[in-house]
Amino acid sequence: MEKVRLDKKRIVLKIGSNTLTKETNQISRGKIEDIGRQIVALQNEYEFVIVSSGAIAVAKQFVNLESNGKEINIKQALASIGQPHLMRIFQESFRDLGLLTSQCLLSYSDFEREQSKVNIVNTINVLLDNNYIPIINENDTVATDEIQFGDNDKLAGLTAALLDADMLVIATNTNGICTKESVENKTFKTIEEIYDIDELQKEVATSISSHGTGGMKTKIEAARIAQNENIETWIVNGLEDNFMMNAINETVPFTRITKVVYNE
C-alpha cells in the first residue's frame, strides 16, 4: 500500500521489559523519560506509536501472588495489576514533557477480524491526529501468546503492518543482532544491514531475555511481518540514552533490516 502521509513518518516503537527496567528488577522512570525526550526532539519529523511490555515487571515490584493455578494464570493476574501502574508512569513522565498518552489493549484475535482491524486503524489515526501517543500492550488477562512466546515482538510487527508504518524500531538490550561467530568468541560484531531474513535467522543465538519472554528470534519474526508489508525494521540498544536519535544519526551500531527491493 502506498503511503499517504506526506508530513510525518510513522514509527512503531517496541520497548521490551529489559529496556524498561534497564535490566534491573523495577521499571526505570529515567528510561521512560529518555524515550519521552527523544519523542519531543523528533516530533516534527516523526509520529510515534509505542508497543510496550513491562506490566508484569511493574506488578512484581508490588506483589507476590500465590496460587494453586497454572503459572500462566499468575502472570495474567500480574499483568492485570501492573498495567495501570505502567500506564501511570508513562502518563506522568510524558506529561512533564508536554506529551499526551493513551492506552490501547489488543489481542491477536483483533488482527484476524476485518472490522476490528478497521476500528484499530481509525482509533489510532484519530489519536495521532490529536497529538496523543498510543501505548499498546497485549490484553494479557484474556490472551496468553505473548506472555509465553514473544514479549510483544509479534504484536509490534502486526501493529506496524496494520498501521502502514514507515519503520518498526525494536528496542532491546544489545547493539542489534550480532553474528553467531562473534557471540561465540565474545567480540560481538553487529550485523548492520541485511535484507535476507532467512540468512539473519541463521546467525541468531537461542537465548531468552531475563525479564521478557522474547529473544532475537521473535524480533526477527516481527521484522519478517513488517518486511512483508515493505516496512524497514531497526533493532537498537534501548539501554543506551538517546538510542533512537543516535540510530537515526548513525552514531551507534544497530541492525537495519531493509525493505523489500522490487525489480523495476
- Give the pLDDT mean for 189-201: 93
2 occurs within a structural domain: no
H or E element at residue 23: none
pLDDT over 90 (residue 208): no
Q: What is the pLDDT of residues 212-244, one digit of tens each?
A: 334 788 999 999 999 999 999 999 999 999 999
* pTM of the predicted model over 0.75: yes
3 occurs within a structural domain: no
The tally of domains found in the chain comes to 1
Helices (H), the chain: 17-21, 29-42, 55-62, 71-95, 114-129, 145-149, 153-162, 180-184, 197-202, 216-228, 243-248
214 occurs within a structural domain: yes
Query: What does pLDDT average to over the chain?
Result: 87
pLDDT over 50 (residue 3): no
Domain that holds residue 109: 9-257
Separation of alpha carbons 166 and 162, rounded Å = 11
Chain centroid to CA 72: how far?
22
CATH number of the domain encompassing residue 128: 3.40.1160.10
Separation of alpha carbons 251 and 30, rounded Å = 22
Compute the half-sphere exposure of residue 15: CA atoms within 13 Å on the CB side of its CA: 31
Q: Which of 44-48, 167-171, 210-214 has the weakest average pLDDT?
A: 210-214
264 occurs within a structural domain: no
- Give the pLDDT mean for 113-130: 96
241 occurs within a structural domain: yes
Is there a contact between 173 and 19 (Cβ–Cβ < 8 Å)? Answer: yes
Is there a contact between 221 and 153 (Cβ–Cβ < 8 Å)? Answer: yes
Compute the half-sphere exposure of residue 40: CA atoms within 13 Å on the CB side of its CA: 14
- Give the pLDDT mean for 172-190: 90
Please tell me which residue, 191 or 109, carries the higher pLDDT value.
Answer: 191
